[in-house]
């Protein structure tokens, strides 16, 4: 074994959709490096702990979310020699997609949702990690059913469509969008109930189906 050792951390890009905007969970740093600046939630990997376990643990402790219900995947690793002034730290970025929460963040203080479009500066190289996470999410909406991960347990097609609008910035046609998601087998499971949103005709409520991939994919207009 070599003598040049690394500290290994996991950082989380936790995304949600609030009020039609794509938001990321950020916390204000209190510790020494980059104190006072915003940063992604994260922490060091413990001994005898795997990466996904560490990310799950951080997700639960930082946001108070239940375990297992939400989407969590590895993004990429970042290990530029000068990315941390304290020394050699490799961080494994993770992407989490969660529905809009009643309480912003039950975890520590200074933990809050920020619209991704308004984030300007972050500690360390977290801006690059965030950009990679957002791009991954955008790409995955094209060929997976992952948009439903942003929705609550039961949701209407309109709510699902607004997820695409928030993540992509483009608003798909309601009729064509409805046709696409309802004809994809296993994407949506109707509950038989309807949601009265106050205005207009109530929409049918759906639950997430077993399907995970979209064939053919749903392409966003721009590029």
State the residues that interact with a second copy by CB under 8 A.
1-2, 4-8, 44-51, 74, 76-81, 86-90, 92, 213, 215-217, 219, 223
CB of 223 to DNA, least distance (A): 12
User: In whole angstroms, what is the distance from residue 43 CA to residue 65 CA?
Assistant: 17
Binding residues among 191-220 for DNA as defined by CB under 7 A:
194, 196-204, 216, 218-219
Q: Binding partner of residue 118 among DNA, a second copy, none, CB under 5 to 8 Å per kind?
A: none
Report yes or no: 129 and 154 within 8 Å, Cβ to Cβ.
no
Q: How many CB atoms lie within 10 A of CB 144?
A: 17
Site string for DNA, 153-192 (x = CB under 7 A): ---xxx-------------xxxxx-xxx-xx---------
Determine the Cα–Cα distance for residues 53 and 46; give it in Å rounded to an integer.
Answer: 10
Strand partners, 74: 94
Question: What SS3 class is residue 194?
Answer: strand
Q: What three-state secondary structure class fits 34?
A: coil
Cβ proximity to a second copy, 16 vs 91, nearer residue: 91
| Residues engaged in binding DNA (CB under 7 A) | 156-158, 172-176, 178-180, 182-183, 194, 196-204, 216, 218-219, 221
């Amino acid at each position: 074994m070599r003598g040049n050792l690394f500290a290994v951390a996991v950082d989380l890009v936790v995304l949600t959709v609030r009020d039609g905007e794509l938001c990321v969970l950020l916390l204000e740093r209190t510790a020494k490096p980059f104190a006072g600046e915003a940063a992604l939630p994260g922490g060091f990997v413990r001994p005898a702990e795997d990466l996904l376990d560490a990310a799950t643990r951080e997700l639960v402790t930082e946001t108070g979310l239940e375990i297992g219900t939400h989407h969590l995947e590895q993004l990429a690793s970042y290990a530029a020699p000068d990315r941390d002034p304290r020394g050699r730290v490799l961080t494994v970025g993770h992407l989490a997609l969660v529905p809009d929460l009643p309480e912003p963040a039950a975890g520590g203080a200074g933990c809050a949702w920020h619209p991704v479009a308004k984030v300007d500066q972050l500690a360390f190289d977290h801006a690059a990690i965030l950009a990679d996470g957002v791009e991954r999410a955008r790409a995955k909406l094209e060929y997976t059913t992952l948009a439903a991960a942003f929705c609550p347990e039961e949701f209407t097609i309109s709510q699902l469509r607004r997820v695409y609008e928030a993540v992509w910035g483009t608003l798909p046609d309601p009729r064509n969008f409805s046709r696409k998601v309802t004809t994809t087998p296993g994407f949506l499971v109707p509950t038989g109930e309807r949601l009265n949103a106050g205005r207009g005709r109530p929409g049918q409520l759906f639950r997430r189906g077993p399907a995970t991939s979209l064939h053919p994919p749903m392409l966003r207009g721009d590029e």
